[in-house]
Every structure is written in structure tokens, then in C-alpha cells.
Amino acid sequence: TTKYKELVDLARQRRISPDMQAGGIATVSNFGTFGMEWGTPIPLPDQTLLLGLGVGKKVPSWDEEKKEFIPRTEAQITLSFDHRSIDGGGAGRLLKRVIELLETSKQL
């Protein structure tokens, strides 16, 4: 929507105010754009979740079928959450699902 695009543009310009962020339940923080591998993000006030994305790096991954190492991109993902709203099991299932979707991104 137009409102969404406006908020994204303001956020990219670092001009989004706290009141413009009201009503959200989750935030994604891509600290990987600054070359950081991982971080410990803290959810914004009145939000439940904050998903942190680290920089993608090429690493060797063993391919059992080919019996050789192949390059694979990996990134650290962190999820901080408010235990008053979601427990560790729910947060773990959410993070597992996010990872599954990212690993099969061609299906997105």
C-alpha cells in the first residue's frame, strides 16, 4: 500500500518517528548491511518480537551425494521476544519457520 511505501521510505531516510511505529507487533533489524555477523536486538516498546539478520557469508558445506564441499551462504539470525506475549516454544517454532523459508527462498 501507499502508507507502507511511505513508512519504508521514511525509515530508510532515518526520519521515522516512534509514533509512526505504533501499532506494530514485530520489527526486523538487518544489521548485516553493516557487515555485522550477529547482534542482540531489543524489541521496541509495545512490540513483541524483533528479528535480527546478520551478514551473509560463504562457507563450505559438505554435499553427501557429490562427496565434496560446495559453497553455501549462511547468516546468523536472532529473535528477541517479550515472554509476556510469547513463550520460548512459540518463539522457537517461529524462528525455525523463518529459517525454513529462507533456506527454500525460491519457494517464497
What lies within 8 Å, CB to CB, of 96 at 6+ separation is none
10 within 8 A of 21, measured Cβ to Cβ: no
Active site (annotated) includes residue 83: yes
Which residue type occupies 57? K
Please give the radius of gyration of the chain, using alpha carbons only, rounded to the nearest integer.
17
Could you give the 3-state DSSP secondary structure of residue 63? strand
Catalytic-labelled residue, pool 83, 104, 107, 108: 83
77 within 8 A of 98, measured Cβ to Cβ: yes
Q: How many residues does the chain have?
A: 108
Give the residue numbers marked as catalytic: 83
